[in-house]
Structure 1
Amino acid sequence: MILFITHVNSQSNNKKLFYVDSYLTTSNENNFEYIKEIEDYDSRKKEYNIKIYYKSGKIYLIGTTTNKDRVKLEGKCLYYFENGKKKQVANYHDNLPTGKQFYYHENGVFKAETEVEISKDKKISYTKILNYFDENNVQKVVNGEGEYSEDYDHNKERSKGLVKDFLKEGLWNGEIKELKASFSEQYSKGKLVIGHSIDSLNNKYTYTEIEERAHPKKGINNFYSYVQNCGIIPKNIEGGVYGQILLSLEVTETGKLENITAYADDKFGVTANAIQLISQYENWIPGKHRGIIVKTHFTLPITFK
C-alpha cells in the first residue's frame, strides 16, 4: 500500500491553495496567517512556483519551492509589504538564504545590500553588510563601514550597532517587543562573543548563542527511537506502507509538545495516529532566544520504506 498524502483547502484549475501559519506550515481556516498557492500541484516536478498571500489577499511572497507540501525555497524569491511595496529580493539554496540579499523600507526607499556566506556543512552562516540607507535615504553604511539598524519579523525585534569590514563589531543594543525585553551584545568580526538580555520582570540572562533549539531531556536519539517503535502504522492496515508524512510541532516554555499538525493528511489514518502517539512523548528542554526561554517550532519528517 502506498501512502498518498493530500490535504487541500481550496483549488482552482491546476493551482491549489492551502492555509498556512506563521511558520508557513499547512494549517486550517481557524488558525492561519497566510494563504499558500502552488502551481501544478498534481504534477511531479523538481520545482514548483509558489505564491503566498496575506489574509487581505495582498501578495507576500513569490518564488520557487522544491517541495509542494512544505515550503522549501530555492533561487530568487520576492517579498512584499502588505501595502504592495517591495520588501526584499532574496536568494536561497536548499531553503537557506545565500548570496546577495536586497532589502527595502516600507516607504519604498532602498534599505540594504547584504551577502550571506554558508559553511560547507551548512551549520554556520556569515552575513556581510555591504551598504545601508535609513528611511530618509541617508546612507549609514558605505562599503562595509558605518552604523547599521536591523529588524526582524515585521519589526517585532530590532537592534543597532557598528559595522567594520562588512561585519558586526563591538557593542550592539536592541529590543524584543513580543517579549518586552532588551538586550546588549558584543561582537568580534561578526561573531557573537557574549550577550545579556533583560525581560519584562527584570530577570537577567547571559548567552553566547542567539538561538538554542528545544531538545528531548533523554536526547534526540531516544526521541527518534520512540518514533520508530511506537507503532505509528495502525494494525488494521494490510500490506506495506510507503511514503512520508511531515509533522509540525511546538515545544512550549514548560517543555511540553503542543500544536502538532500535519503538512498533509492521508485516508488510512497513519497521520492521525502519528500525531496522537508523538503527543505522548514528554520531557523536553525548551528552546531559548537570546537567553530567554521561548516557545519553539520544528518540523519532523517520518519516512516509511
Structure 2
Amino acid sequence: MNIFLLRFSTLMVFLFGTMLSLPGFGQDQIVTYLNKHRHIVAEKDSAQYIRTLTPGKEPNAPYKLLEQYITGEVYRTGSAFFFHDRITLVDLVTTFQKDGKKISEEQYVDGVLAGDCRYYYKNGQLKSEMIAPGRVGKGRENLKMDVPPAKLMVFYDSLGTQLVKDGNGQVKDMNDDKDFEEGAYKNGYKDGQWKGTFLKRKYSYTERYAEGKLIEGTSVDSAGTEVSYSKVEERPVYPDGMPALYRFIGMNYRYPRQAYQQRVNGAVVLSFVVDKEGKLVDIKVVQDLGLGTGEEGVRVLRAAPRWKPGKLRGIPVRVSFTIPIHLNLQG
C-alpha cells in the first residue's frame, strides 16, 4: 500500500508476525540475527541464531536457507522465497538440535505446512508423523482461508510404544514446560473430549472435538474461574482491521527534516508486543535508517489505539509483532 505523505514521497507498510528477514550488507546473501523467541534483533550480541539466505542458481529459484545456533551448529536448513523483507518457506525444511539430532522434518507450500511431516524426541527417536493439507483453494481467496487441521497418522510415547496407528489411538503428550494434553484421535483427527494444561500449568482446560474441529472449550484458572471459548488461538486485532493500521501509520508518520533533505530511503523495522490489555509495549527499533527515522516510527506506534488482545484458550496473552515501514522518496 502506497500512501502519499510529502511531495513525491511514499510510505509502504507491511505487517506480519515473526516471519521477517532483513537484508544484510552482502550483495549475494541476506543475513539476520534472531533471539531465543525467534524474533529479529539488530545486534549479534543479542542473538541466539543466525539466518543466512543464499540466492538460488536459477532465475526465480528459492533461496537456500541456513539457520545456525550462535555457536555455529546447524539449527535449520531448507528453501525459502524472500519478498518485502520476509521469508516464505517452501519444500523440505529440517530442524536440528545442537548435537545434530533431528527435531523435525516438514514440507511447506507457500509458507504453509503441506505434506508429510515428522517430529522427533530429544534422543532422536521418532515421535509422530502427520499429513498437513496446506491451504484449500487458489489465488487471493486462498490467503483468506484458514488452514485445515493436519492428520496425525502415527504417534509414539517417549519409551517407543506406539499409541496411534493409521490415525487412530489415545494420546497423552507433555511439552518442555510440563504442560500436557490427552485425548483420542479418530481417522487422524482429534475426537471427543480432550483435557490438559497450558501457560506453564497455570490453567487447565477441557475441549470437545468432532473430526478435528473444536466444538467447545473451557479454561479454568487456579482460583476455579472458568472461561469458555470457541477458538484455541485468537490473534490480536487492530480496530477496524489491518487496512486501518496502514492508514494510521501513513497519516501520522512524518519524515524527519534531515532524513527528507538527505533523501533517505529504505526500511525502518520496529518490533512490539500487544499486551494482555491490547496496549503496544516494548516498542523497539530493529533496523534504523538514522536521522530520526526510527524514533519517528516509535512515536507513531506509541500513539496508536489499543488492539483487541490475543487469546489462548480464552485467556489474554502477550503477542509479539515485527513491522517494517518502507520509506521511498521519489523525484
TM range (shorter): 0.7 to 0.9
Q: Could you tell me which amino acid in structure 2 is paired with residue 48 of structure 1?
A: Y
Q: Distance in 1 between matches of 2:251 and 2:50?
A: 34
Matched, 1:38 2:52: yes
Higher relative contact order (CA 8 A, sep 6+): 2
SS in 1 for 2:40: coil
Correspondence for 2:38: 24
Q: Distance in 2 between matches of 1:257 and 1:168?
A: 35
Correspondence for 1:84: 100
Q: Distance in 1 between matches of 2:60 and 2:286?
A: 18
Q: Distance in 2 between matches of 1:115 and 1:49?
A: 24
SS in 2 for 1:67: strand
Q: 1:255-286 CA deviation, whole Å, 9 max, x = no partner? A: 21123345533245434422321222132221
Bigger fraction of residues in helix = 2
Q: Distance in 1 between matches of 2:218 and 2:307?
A: 24
> What is the TM-score of this pair, normalised by structure 1?
0.83
1:40–1:101 Cα change, 3 Å: closer
Moved more, 14-23 or 111-120: 14-23
Matched, 1:277 2:291: no
Checking the alignment, whether the CA contact within 8 Å between 1:128 and 1:144 is kept in structure 2 is yes
Correspondence for 1:60: 75
The one of 140, 157, 161 equivalent to 1:134 is: 157
The one of 136, 143, 146 equivalent to 1:119 is: 136
Instruction: Give the aligned CA root-mean-square deviation in angstroms.
Output: 3.4
Q: Count matched residues.
A: 300
Q: Distance in 2 between matches of 1:46 and 1:200?
A: 52
Q: Distance in 2 between matches of 1:125 and 1:140?
A: 23
Q: Could you tell me which amino acid in structure 1 is paired with residue 323 of structure 2?
A: L
Q: Could you tell me which amino acid in structure 1 is paired with residue 136 of structure 2?
A: S
1:98–1:82 Cα change, 3 Å: same
Correspondence for 1:224: 246
Moved more, 273-282 or 239-248: 239-248
Q: Distance in 2 between matches of 1:191 and 1:227?
A: 37
Correspondence for 2:124: 108
1:76–1:220 Cα change, 3 Å: same
Correspondence for 2:313: 290
Checking the alignment, whether the CA contact within 8 Å between 2:177 and 2:200 is kept in structure 1 is no
1:202–1:175 Cα change, 3 Å: same
Post-superposition offset of 1:248: 2.9
SS in 2 for 1:216: coil
Post-superposition offset of 1:144: 0.9
Q: Distance in 1 between matches of 2:45 and 2:114?
A: 31
> What is the TM-score of this pair, normalised by structure 2?
0.77
Structure 1 segment 231-250 matched on structure 2, within 5 A: 231-236=253-258, 237-238=260-261, 244-250=267-273
Correspondence for 1:196: 218
Matched, 1:162 2:188: no
Q: Could you tell me which amino acid in structure 2 is paired with residue 160 of structure 1?
A: E
Checking the alignment, whether the CA contact within 8 Å between 1:232 and 1:277 is kept in structure 2 is no
Q: Could you tell me which amino acid in structure 2 is paired with residue 36 of structure 1?
A: I
